[in-house]
């Protein structure tokens, strides 16, 4: 009678567990275990010491010589020849494997969970300086500039305000540890401390996309293209007593035979063209 009463007590406990839909999480070995709804037996067998079961993964054989000898099971990563018993207190068990893989580390099968990617910049790959330069050199602006000045000096800089420095090289920035540091690629014509023309390209440090360019291609393709009076330079005269012998934009300063300088009132930008004013006559 006592034995029968004990069995009924154990069965009642099992049913109570069933109603509560017991879940066991074994994150260390990469599995979720869900108790099934089918009662296999009214009798509960005591677990044998050293047995490899769903609730006793420490009893499993984890030895290995190579990754290929490790197998993913509901007991975790175990030796491929080990048998994982998928019953818990006499009930059928299903498990959901956490994304990851088994590896043989120090002759022991271990689980490595797959690290989920998110939308943060930490998981993105940054382009190299060489890739940023290659991207800049492929632009029409840089190619044209190097045709004019093949010996132009190359300078690179990473800055959180690279795009702003394209238009204003002297721009001051307040960067933080979380700020992006995009690439600023610059080609300069002239000598250190006396550069007279340049082209600047900002490249995104992650995607490699062009963020900003300076100057417009029109300045590079047309000696007289301008958008304001300050874009124009007065060309020096050779053997002629004149203050100005023509007007070019700032990009072509290095090509002026007799020199070029700020035009003052001698050149004006008229209809996007550097034009001599009457004062140059």
CATH number for the domain harbouring residue 175: 3.10.450
Q: Are residues 174 and 275 in the same domain?
A: no
Q: Provide the residue count of the chain.
A: 281
pLDDT of residue 91: 59
Q: How many domains does the chain have?
A: 3
Q: Are residues 62 and 92 in the same domain?
A: yes
Q: Are residues 10 and 103 in the same domain?
A: yes
Residue 89 binned pLDDT confidence (cut-offs 50, 70, 90): low
Q: Are residues 63 and 125 in the same domain?
A: no
Q: Are residues 171 and 212 in the same domain?
A: yes
Q: Are residues 126 and 215 in the same domain?
A: yes
Q: Cis link prior to 67 (omega < 30° from 0)?
A: no
* 201, 220, 239 - which closes a domain: 220
Mean pLDDT comparison of 44-53, 183-192, 211-220, highest-scoring range: 211-220
Q: Are residues 9 and 106 in the same domain?
A: yes
Residue 228 binned pLDDT confidence (cut-offs 50, 70, 90): very high
Best CA proximity match to 70, nearest among 110, 100, 113: 110
pLDDT of residue 159: 86
- Residue 210 vs residue 46, higher pLDDT: 210
* 200, 220, 240 - which closes a domain: 220
Quote the CA–CA distance of 35 and 95 in Å, as a whole number.
Answer: 9
Q: 0.75 cut: is pTM over it? A: no
Quote the CA–CA distance of 10 and 89 in Å, as a whole number.
Answer: 10
Residue 127 binned pLDDT confidence (cut-offs 50, 70, 90): very high
- Residue 82 vs residue 15, higher pLDDT: 82
* 113, 142, 167 - which closes a domain: 113
Residue 12 binned pLDDT confidence (cut-offs 50, 70, 90): low
- Residue 19 vs residue 226, higher pLDDT: 226
pLDDT of residue 23: 42
The arithmetic mean of pLDDT across residues 249-268, rounded, is 80
**pLDDT at residue 248 greater than cutoff 80:** yes
DSSP 37: E
Q: Are residues 134 and 198 in the same domain?
A: yes
The arithmetic mean of pLDDT across residues 87-105, rounded, is 70
Q: Are residues 202 and 230 in the same domain?
A: no
Element (H, E) at 22: none
Q: Are residues 137 and 106 in the same domain?
A: no
**pLDDT at residue 116 greater than cutoff 60:** no
Best CA proximity match to 202, nearest among 233, 227, 173, 231: 173
Element (H, E) at 232: strand 232-235
pLDDT of residue 43: 37
Residue 33 binned pLDDT confidence (cut-offs 50, 70, 90): very low
Q: Are residues 62 and 27 in the same domain?
A: yes
| Percent with pLDDT over 90 in the chain | 36
Q: Are residues 103 and 191 in the same domain?
A: no
Best CA proximity match to 34, nearest among 92, 98, 93, 87: 93
200: domain range? Answer: 121-220
């Amino acid at each position: 009678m006592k034995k029968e009463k004990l069995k009924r007590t154990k069965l009642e406990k099992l049913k109570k567990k069933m109603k509560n839909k017991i879940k066991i999480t074994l994150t260390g070995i990469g599995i979720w275990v869900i108790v099934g709804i089918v009662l296999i037996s009214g009798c509960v067998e005591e677990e044998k010491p050293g047995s490899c079961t769903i609730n006793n993964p420490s009893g499993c054989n984890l030895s290995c010589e190579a990754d290929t000898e490790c197998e993913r099971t509901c007991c975790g990563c175990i030796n491929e020849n080990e048998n994982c018993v998928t019953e818990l207190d006499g009930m059928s068990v299903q498990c959901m494997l956490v994304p990851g893989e088994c590896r043989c580390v120090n002759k022991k099968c271990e689980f490595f969970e797959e690290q989920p990617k998110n939308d943060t910049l930490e998981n993105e790959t940054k382009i190299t300086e060489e890739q940023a330069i290659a991207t800049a050199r492929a632009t029409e602006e840089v190619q044209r500039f190097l045709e004019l000045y093949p010996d132009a000096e190359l300078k690179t800089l990473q800055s959180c305000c690279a795009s702003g420095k394209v238009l204003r090289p002297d721009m001051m920035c307040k960067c933080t540890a979380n700020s992006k540091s995009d690439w600023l690629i610059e080609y300069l014509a002239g000598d250190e401390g006396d550069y007279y023309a340049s082209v600047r390209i900002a490249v995104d440090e992650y995607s490699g996309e062009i963020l900003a360019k300076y100057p417009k291609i029109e300045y590079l393709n047309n000696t007289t293209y301008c958008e304001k009076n300050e874009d124009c330079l007065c060309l020096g005269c050779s053997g002629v007593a004149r203050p100005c012998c023509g007007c070019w934009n700032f990009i072509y300063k290095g090509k002026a035979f007799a020199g070029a300088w700020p035009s003052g009132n001698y050149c004006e930008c008229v209809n996007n063209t550097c034009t001599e004013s009457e004062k140059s006559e």
